[in-house]
Amino acid sequence: MDLAGVKMVGDLTLWLKDINKGHVPVVGRKCVSLAELIRMGARVPPGFALTIKANETMMCETGIGNKVHQYLEGFEPRSLGEFSSSKRAGNDILQIMKGVRLPEDMRDELFKSYEELCGSTGIPNVAVSVRSSGPESRPGLFETYLNVQGKEELERKVLACWASVFAPRAIANRVQQGGVVEGEYIGVVILQMVNARSAGVLFSVNPITANLNEVVIEGSWGLGESVVQASVAPDRFTIDKRTLELKESIINEKPREVILTSKGTAVEAVAPERKAISCLSEEEIKELVRLAKIVEIHYGGIPQDVEWAISADYSFPDNVFFLQTRPVVGVKWGSKYTDKPPGKSAADHIADLMVERITR
């Protein structure tokens, strides 16, 4: 890996604002996409990353890496693709990792960066989220921790995040993909927690009808977990991408929301008068769409799947936050342009499409 010219704050941590496109091998995809969102003018909560290298260093210096290696030698690698043995291995490795602490230098650097974050936000023991950021995007594979407060807790959650590389489903996934069983090293991204009034996802294209000229937003009250975990039917807005006109809004009854508590998060009942009203104002919708269009263009027109949150602590437009963006996957884009049937010549097919396009 050529790191010439890469600006390193420390070997182990990097602030989001100092991260650029070339840093994927250093801090992972999620961190880089957050950094790019900032450059594109989207609001992203302040935060920093623990590097992929830090993960590797931790595994070596604490001797955990060796222990895991030795433990896994007792397995026939392919058998780990099966649920029962990957589950056993995962649980055993979690036991091996239990009680381990970060190497001292790393802990110091983590705490120093965290104190700086507390300083810059003006909040002692500022609440943060702790998420994985691997060199490859693996949505939903590793653990995420919300509303983490204080240095000690932060250290535990960073370690837990790294331990989740050995969660049974992660092991099984690696084996199925033909990867190294012992795992991959991942970065960790630590962001100030958004005290979300509403949150959800945005698709820069309509993922259901595959209409590329529509943006679809789904959202609910409280933290994004409510939508992501599909525990409530979210509000759903369809917007014309060109005119930003709201074409359709479906406001659902939202009986529950996930909120921040002093110890983490909790599911609470939504006050009756808020249940059936829209979780987004029209100006918030427009702002989300406007930003999403920029993001989509930035990524070469590839449809994006964005996680967003509206903060209860700020007023519009400073309350609109982007927490993640990645390409929309798993949608077959519909088209008026048909595939070429086998046996037909390329020129015939192109000429037909051309004529259809003009005479449609």
Partner 1 sequence: MVEWKAEWRPKRRNHLYVLSYEDLQAYPCWYLDSVHSIPPWTPLFAWSWAHHQRYGDLWAAETLGFPTCRGTDWREVDGCGYMSPILVTDKTEQKERATRFREHLRPFIDDYHGVWSGVVKELMDRYQRFKAFDVTNSTSSALWDHFDEVFRFNYRVWGLHSWVMYTLSGLYALFEDICRERVGIDDTSAVWHRMIRGFDNKLFEVDRMFWNLYERAVELGVDGVIKGNPLDEIIPALMEDERGDRWLNEANGFRGFLNEHGWRMPRMMEFNCKPWIEDPSPAFSFIRQYIDKSGHFEMDLRRPEIVKERKEAEQEILSRFPDSQRDWIRSLMEVAQKAGVFSEEHTYYFEHMSHSLMRRAGYACAKRMVDKGLMEDPEDFVFLLPDEFRKNIIPLCLDYRPLISERRLHYDEYSKRLDRPPLIGELADDPQGAMEYMAATKDDVMMKISVGMEAVASVDYKADLYGNPGAPGISQGTVRVVSSEEDIPKIRSGDILVATTTYSSWTPVFPLLEGVVLDSGASLSHAAIVGREYNIPVVIQTKEATKRLRDGQRIRVDGSRGAVWILPG
Which residues of the shown chain bind partner 1 in the complex (CB under 8 A)? Answer: 40-42, 205, 212, 290-291, 293-294, 296-298, 300-303, 333, 335-337, 339-340, 342, 346-347, 349-355, 357-359
Give the shortest CB-176-to-partner 1 separation in angstroms.
23
Please identify, using beta-carbon distances, which residue of 134 and 303 lies nearer to partner 1: 303
Please identify, using beta-carbon distances, which residue of 8 and 353 lies nearer to partner 1: 353
Please identify, using beta-carbon distances, which residue of 263 and 336 lies nearer to partner 1: 336
Query: Any residues with CB less than 8 A from the CB of 317 and at least 6 apart, and which?
Result: 283, 287
Please identify, using beta-carbon distances, which residue of 67 and 298 lies nearer to partner 1: 298
- Lookup: tokens for 272: 């009756």
Give the shortest CB-350-to-partner 1 separation in angstroms.
5
Give the shortest CB-323-to-partner 1 separation in angstroms.
17
As a whole number of angstroms, the distance between CA 235 and CA 248 comes to 11
As a whole number of angstroms, the distance between CA 250 and CA 234 comes to 9
Please identify, using beta-carbon distances, which residue of 271 and 358 lies nearer to partner 1: 358
Long-range contact set of residues 37-40: C-beta below 8 Å, sequence gap at least 24: 37/295, 37/322, 37/325, 40/291, 40/294, 40/295, 40/298
Describe the strand order of the beta sheet including 144-148 as a list of residue ranges.
13-15, 47-50, 187-192, 128-133, 144-148
Give the shortest CB-282-to-partner 1 separation in angstroms.
18
Give the shortest CB-17-to-partner 1 separation in angstroms.
15
Please identify, using beta-carbon distances, which residue of 268 and 352 lies nearer to partner 1: 352
From the list 326, 322, 335, the residue with the least C-alpha distance to 299 is 326
Please identify, using beta-carbon distances, which residue of 230 and 297 lies nearer to partner 1: 297
- Kindly give the interhelix angle for 104-121 and 52-61, rounded to the nearest 10 degrees: 140
As a whole number of angstroms, the distance between CA 323 and CA 321 comes to 6
Determine the longest span between alpha carbons in the chain, in angstroms: 71
Decide: residue 150, CB within 10 A, 0-12 exposed, 13-18 middle, 19+ buried: middle
Place of tokens 């959650």: 157
Give the shortest CB-9-to-partner 1 separation in angstroms.
24
Per the rule left: phi > 0, alpha: psi between -120 and 50, beta: everything else, 317 is: alpha
Give the shortest CB-171-to-partner 1 separation in angstroms.
30
Give the shortest CB-113-to-partner 1 separation in angstroms.
27
Question: By three-state DSSP, how is residue 109 classified?
Answer: helix
Please identify, using beta-carbon distances, which residue of 37 and 270 lies nearer to partner 1: 37
